[in-house]
Amino acid sequence: MVKIGQIELGEFPLLLAPMEDVSDPPFRAVCKENGADMMYTEFIAADGLIRDAEKSLQKLDIYDYERPIGIQIFGDKIEAMREAAAIAEGAGPELVDINYGCPVNKVACKGAGAGILLDLPKMQKMSEEIVKRCKVPVTVKTRLGWDEKNIKILEVAQRLQDVGVQALTIHARTRYQMYKGEADWSWIAKVKEMQSIHIPIFGNGDIDSPEKALDYKNRFGPDGIMIGRAAIGNPWVFNQIKHYFKTGEKLAEPDIAERIRVCKQHLIRSVEWKGPKTGIFEMRPHYTNYFRGFPNFKPFRQRIVTAGSVEEVSEILDEVEKTYSAGVDVLN
């Protein structure tokens, strides 16, 4: 049984990654329904929480059906992160997660996210102060290091555990790699081989199929896997991996009726949470992902992304279902 503090996550949990502009409550809902064991909010700027910025505060919204869930924060100032952690904890999550992995320039080059990998004493101090401030468990998501010449993950894991961090997720790329190149999970195995490390270590990066999930589980020995991009438009990936672990057999891909059902559910939740205008607008990028591989889908997509109401989108989705339910191989 993998546990973070007193939070029981099963024998080999599958976690939904915190993804900016993706891992909002509507998306988390469909992932939870399809097998995600633990989820995280989009990352939230500490400065935004302290200033009561509307967009930052909205990201604190969590719901009972999502539990267990962690709220992820990022920032470069220790005192601001302490305050933000307290605000996040007040929203009632099971844990608070610190983002030490975001590679984008506007975050990392200011010393937040993966930028703190250039200052490990500050990382350790910041983590220690947040752990002291919070009653719920504090966890961290980070990367291997700044670049291939500065891979620090073994030292990072030890420092974080020493100050009370209760779980660590490792995206097995450097900051320099961004999201390119192959993730090097051998470093995750090296962390797991450290006799002094006893907190759960979750692996992240490149898991896009049940076969790869099982292969990496067996080869590198993480305590669980965090899935990000592979779940976009494919929330079924969690149950697919679980089924493959249990039986060695692959589940059939979701048929058109199931894709339409989940897509509509996602849309409705988006509108309920964000309001009609924003909810419909921010769903538009998801349609390409839900129907990736469908032949001749472009005309439908063009109509959906210009539709102005839930009813109009639903009518077009009904057309999609009718068109592709006549035995068309949608994955050609």
Q: Which residues are catalytic?
A: 102
In single-letter form, the type of residue at position 86 comes to: A
Q: Which two tokens stand for residue 44?
A: 């939230």
> Which secondary-structure segment (H or E) carries 266?
helix 256-274
Q: Which DSSP string corresponds to 1-63?
A: --EETTEE--SS-EEE---TTTSSHHHHHHHHHTT-SEEEPPPEEHHHHHTT-HHHHHTT---
Inter-residue contact 83 to 46 (CB < 8 Å)? yes
Q: Is the peptide bond before 68 cis (omega within 30 degrees of 0)?
A: yes
**Rounded Cα distance, 65 and 47, in Å:** 28
Q: CA angle, 47 as apex, 43 and 48 as ends, to 5°?
A: 65
Residue 168's beta-bridge partner residues?
Answer: 140, 201
Q: Are the C-beta atoms of 251 and 240 separated by less than 8 Å?
A: yes
Query: Six-digit token pair at 15?
Result: 């976690």
Cα gap 285→296, rounded to integer Å: 17
Is there a contact between 190 and 154 (Cβ–Cβ < 8 Å)? Answer: yes
